[in-house]
């Protein structure tokens, strides 16, 4: 089968399968990364913690806007004995703006922390899912290997059983579990013995 020289193979890394190499430019890569980032941001915004933090931030920003608007209506008044109240009004308006700015800064920090927590939780959940899938595949492979190993051993044991005059069928099946258990024990002891011999040969341990 011929392959278009301008089209990558499906096993190429770094670009989606079937991508036309001539069209896969830094600009298209940046576009795809931008689309992926946008999708991630939209997903994070659905988190309940992020939504609550954003609502708090929006409220703080609204209060800051109101404080700034009110301050703009209060004329600047330097301190004088005869207009002391006007001076206090101006100071209070300025202080209200500063406090509102501080509340916005705190809310922004909490909002970013909530997004980071949501992203970390998402990554952790994906890792757990991938790890569970890997563990299940490993366990399935180990189980399949054990079944094949037992089937091979049973076939050999059955041939040896018949060779010494044993009866087939149910008679062999009834004794096989005990035979297989004994064989597994023998194999375990053999592996342990081999490990001990290797450790002795290394000279690092003495028994």
Summarised one tens digit per residue, pLDDT across range 16-75 is: 444 454 455 766 666 665 665 566 677 777 888 888 999 999 999 999 999 999 999 998
C-alpha distances (whole Å) from 25 to each of 12, 15, 21, 32, 36 are 16, 10, 8, 11, 17
Per-residue confidence (pLDDT) for residue 68, from 0 to 100: 95
Give dist(CA 96, CA 104) in Å, integer: 12
Instruction: Judge whether residue 167 has pLDDT over 70.
Output: yes
Share of the chain above pLDDT 90, in %: 24
Give dist(CA 44, CA 118) in Å, integer: 6
Give dist(CA 75, CA 193) in Å, integer: 93
Tens digit of each residue's pLDDT (9 = 90 or more) over 94-106: 999 999 999 999 9
Tens digit of each residue's pLDDT (9 = 90 or more) over 10-19: 444 444 444 4
Give dist(CA 71, CA 89) in Å, integer: 9
Angle between helix axes 48-73 and 84-163 (nearest 10 degrees) is: 170
Give dist(CA 124, CA 68) in Å, integer: 42
Per-residue confidence (pLDDT) for residue 98, from 0 to 100: 96
Per-residue confidence (pLDDT) for residue 111, from 0 to 100: 92
Tens digit of each residue's pLDDT (9 = 90 or more) over 113-128: 998 888 887 777 777 7
Q: Is 112:45 a contact under the CB 8 Å cutoff? A: no
Q: Is 96:60 a contact under the CB 8 Å cutoff? A: no
Q: How does the average pLDDT of the chain come out, rounded?
A: 79
pLDDT grade for 129, boundaries at 50, 70 and 90: confident
Q: Which residue has the tokens 């990364």?
A: 33
């Amino acid at each position: 089968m011929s392959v278009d020289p301008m089209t990558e193979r499906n096993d190429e890394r770094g670009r989606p399968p079937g991508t036309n190499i001539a069209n896969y430019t830094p600009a298209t890569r940046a576009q795809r990364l931008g689309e992926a980032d946008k999708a991630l941001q939209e997903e994070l915004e659905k988190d309940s913690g992020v939504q609550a933090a954003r609502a708090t931030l929006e409220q703080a920003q609204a209060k800051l806007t109101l404080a700034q608007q009110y301050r703009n209506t209060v004329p600047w008044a330097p301190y004088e004995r005869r207009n002391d109240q006007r001076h206090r009004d101006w100071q209070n308006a300025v202080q209200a703006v500063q406090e509102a700015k501080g509340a916005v800064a705190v809310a922004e920090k909490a909002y970013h922390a909530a997004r980071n927590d949501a992203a970390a939780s998402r990554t952790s959940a994906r890792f757990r899912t991938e790890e569970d899938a890997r563990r299940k595949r490993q366990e399935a492979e180990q189980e399949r290997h054990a079944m094949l190993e037992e089937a091979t051993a049973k076939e050999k044991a059955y041939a040896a059983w018949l060779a010494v005059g044993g009866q087939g069928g149910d008679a062999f099946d009834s004794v096989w579990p005990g035979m297989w258990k004994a064989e597994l024990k023998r194999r375990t002891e053999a592996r342990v013995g081999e490990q001990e011999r290797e450790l002795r040969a290394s000279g690092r341990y003495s028994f």
